[in-house]
Amino acid sequence: MNNSQNPVARENGLVIQETGEEVLVYDLNNNKAHCLNQTAAFVWKSCDGKNTVENIAGLIEKEFSQKVEEDLVWLALDQLSKESLLETPVMSKIEGVSRRDVIKRIGFAATLALPVVAMLSFPNQVLAVSCAASFCGQSDPASGCAAGQFCCRNAPASPNYSCQSTACTVPC
Amino acid sequence: MDLIKDLEKIKKIRWAQRIGFDFYGTKVGFKIDNHEAAKRVRDIFPKKSVEIEFGETTVCFLLITKQDSKLNGFYRVEKGFPELAYDFEKFDDLCLQGIELKMLFTLAMKSPPKMFYFHAGAVSIDGRGIIIPGQTFSGKTTLTKEFIRSGAEYYSDDCSLIDSAGLLYPFPINLGIRGEIERNYKSAADLGALEGVKPVPVEFVLLTGFKKDKIWNPRVIDSGQGSFQLLKHLFYPPSINCKPTETLGLVAKLAKQAKFLKSLRGESKEVVCWFFDYLKSNN
Give the pLDDT confidence of A62-107 residue by residue, as tens digits.
999 988 888 899 999 999 999 999 999 887 776 665 667 777 777 6
CA–CA min distance A77, chain B (Å): 20
Closest CA to B122 of B233, B223, B222: B233
What average pLDDT is seen over chain B? 89
pLDDT of residue B202: 98
- B256 bridge partner residues: none
| Residue of A15, A22, A134 lying closest to B3 (CB–CB) | A134
Per-residue b/e over B126-154, b at no fewer than 16 CB within 10 Å? eebbbbbbbbbbbbbbbbbbbbbbbebbb
List CB contacts (< 8 A) between B78 and chain A.
129, 133
- A26 bridge partner residues: A15, A33
Q: Is some CB atom of chain A closer than 8 A to the CB atom of B220?
A: no
Q: Is some CB atom of chain A closer than 8 A to the CB atom of B142?
A: no
Closest CA to B82 of B7, B12, B31: B7
Q: What pLDDT digit, counting tens, does each position of B56-98 carry?
A: 999 999 999 987 778 899 999 988 888 888 888 889 888 888 8
Question: B136, A139: Cβ pair inside 8 Å?
Answer: yes
Give CA torsion, residues B47, B50, B51, B56, to 10 deg: -140
pLDDT band at B3 (very low <50, low <70, confident <90, very high): very low
Question: B238, A128: Cβ pair inside 8 Å?
Answer: yes
Closest CA to A139 of A162, A170, A171, A172: A162
Q: Rounded to 5 degrees, what are φ and ψ at A108?
A: -70, -35
pLDDT of residue A139: 46
Question: What value of ipTM does the predicted structure carry?
Answer: 0.85
| Chain B nearest-CA residue for A140 | B98
Question: B228, A35: Cβ pair inside 8 Å?
Answer: yes
Question: B223, A20: Cβ pair inside 8 Å?
Answer: yes
Distance, C-alpha B61 to centroid of its chain? 18
Lowest mean pLDDT among B21-30, B132-141, B244-253: B132-141
Q: Is some CB atom of chain A closer than 8 A to the CB atom of B164?
A: no
Strand, coil or helix: what is B190?
Answer: coil
Q: What is the DSSP letter of A86?
A: B
Share of chain B above pLDDT 90, in %: 61
Cβ–Cβ contacts within 10 Å for residue B214, how many? Answer: 15
Structure-model confidence comparison of residues A102 and B154, the more confident one: B154
pLDDT of residue A121: 92
Question: B228, A140: Cβ pair inside 8 Å?
Answer: no
Q: Rounded to 5 degrees, what are φ and ψ at B22?
A: -115, 120
Which residues, 6+ apart, have CB-to-CB distance to B92 below 8 Å? Answer: none
Mutate to test the interface with B, among A32, A83, A134 (most CBs of B within 10 A): A134
Closest CA to B45 of B173, B144, B153: B173
Mutate to test the interface with A, among B81, B118, B222 (most CBs of A within 10 A): B222
Q: Is some CB atom of chain B closer than 8 A to the CB atom of A113?
A: no
Closest CA to A53 of A84, A23, A92: A92
Q: Is some CB atom of chain B closer than 8 A to the CB atom of A24?
A: yes
Closest CA to A4 of A42, A46, A53: A53
Structure-model confidence comparison of residues A11 and B138, the more confident one: A11
Mean pLDDT of the region B34-60: 92
pLDDT of residue A149: 56
Lowest mean pLDDT among A61-65, B11-15, B186-190: B186-190
CA terminus-to-terminus distance, chain A = 37
Residues of chain A with pLDDT below 50 are: 1-3, 127-143, 154-159, 170-172
Element holding B43 (H helix, E strand): helix B35-43
- B167 bridge partner residues: B201
Cβ–Cβ contacts within 10 Å for residue B43, how many? Answer: 9
pLDDT band at B178 (very low <50, low <70, confident <90, very high): low
Mutate to test the interface with B, among A18, A23, A24, A162 (most CBs of B within 10 A): A24
Closest CA to B27 of B58, B60, B1, B53: B58
Q: Is some CB atom of chain B closer than 8 A to the CB atom of A139?
A: yes
